[in-house]
Amino acid sequence: MQSVLLAIDRVSTLAGKIGGWAIVALTGVICYEVFARYLFRAPTAWAYDTSYMLYGFLFMLAGAYTLARNGHVRADFLYRSMPPRRQALLDLPLYLIFFVPGMLALIWFGWNFFHLSYLQNERSSVTPDGPLIWPFKFLIPFCGALMLLQGIAEIVRCVIAIRTGEWPEKLADVEETEAQALALAAAQQAAAAAQAKAAEERR
């Protein structure tokens, strides 16, 4: 089971990293548009469409990766102080009551939204010869499915934590940055304490 959970983490991580490259492309598009508009007085007709599609691409693909990192916003000032079993007992019903129905709705309505756009061969109306929109709209059900897949992995982790009292291991890449920093600080404190004790014994 652990190998399956880590495989899902890898899929979410890959999606997040692919989406991250959109930042590079988006930066290039915006810089080109600024230079073309203000330096050469030759604004492009495609920069606006391209920029909002790239931003949407980044935003949608980052969803599952952010869930794998526990990076979505939540009021967790009390949650962090709870033991893993209590955290899991809080997370599990929230996933089942809110997250799963929400993602199923996103996939269902997102697919209908995309399918209608595909049948119409929809193009952007912002510019006279706008790009195709339906491939971009396909990201809605696709990324909803990625989020649901990662959510199922998190639900399984909740069940394991309730049974064992410990959270299952995640990929290092999707471990929360704060947890890594705390672990590093604890290791440094332990090393410093060991050095101090050794120095005291030498005296």
Nearest by Cα to 91 from 62, 67, 66 = 67
Length of the chain: 203
53-80 pLDDT per residue, tens: 999 999 899 999 989 888 777 767 778 7
77-88 pLDDT per residue, tens: 778 788 999 999
Range in 4-8, 51-55, 175-179 the model is least confident about: 175-179
Query: Mean per-residue pLDDT for 122-131?
Result: 81
Range in 29-33, 87-91, 132-136, 170-174 the model is least confident about: 170-174
Whether the Cβ atoms of residue 131 and residue 123 lie closer than 8 Å to each other: yes
Spatial distance between the Cα atoms of 28 and 34, rounded to a whole number of angstroms: 10
What radius of gyration do the chain's Cα atoms show? 23
27-39 pLDDT per residue, tens: 999 999 999 989 8
Location of structure tokens 């869930």: 67
Whether the Cβ atoms of residue 110 and residue 26 lie closer than 8 Å to each other: no
Average pLDDT, the chain: 87
Domain map of the chain by residue range?
2-170, 177-203
Spatial distance between the Cα atoms of 202 and 9, rounded to a whole number of angstroms: 48
173 band by pLDDT with thresholds 50, 70 and 90: low
